[in-house]
Amino acid sequence: MDEHEISINRIALHSRGIPLPTVHAAVDGLGQEVMSSLVQQGLVQPGQTIQLGDLNLETLSWQRGGNANELRREIARVLTQAIAARLRRK
């Protein structure tokens, strides 16, 4: 299996009104989902290590009553967009 690594010091993401247990469950597996998306877009290569520093993300738009999997997909989408934009500027 190919190794990919992206190092992020801190992620700022606003999640108003989302229950904390849902947020915690959504974060589980988030890194793998984001990395998979970046690999599919061809933004990371096998063995590549990328240092990004801090990422300040937008406030999530998420419908109340959604589950942790839906929230994870939304966080992954926002995070992937932010990382992709940063990588394209390098």
How do residues 13-34 score in pLDDT, each as one tens digit?
777 778 888 888 988 888 888 8
Q: Which pLDDT score is estimated for 65?
A: 67
Confirm if 25 and 66 have CB atoms less than 8 A apart. Answer: no
User: Which of 15 and 80 is assigned the larger pLDDT?
Assistant: 80
Instruction: For the chain, give the mean pLDDT.
Output: 80
How many degrees, rounded to 5, is the angle at CA 14 between CA 10 and CA 20? 95
d(CA 23, CA 67): 10
User: Which of 78 and 13 is assigned the larger pLDDT?
Assistant: 78
Query: Residues for the chain: how many in total?
Result: 90
Residue 49: strand pairing partners: 5
Residue 1: pLDDT band with limits 50, 70, 90: very low
Domain that holds residue 67: 5-89
Statement: the pTM of the whole predicted model exceeds 0.85: no
* Cα end-to-end span (Å), the chain: 26
Provide the number of structural domains found in the chain.
1
**What's the mean pLDDT in 53-81?**
81
Lowest mean pLDDT among 21-35, 48-62, 68-82: 48-62
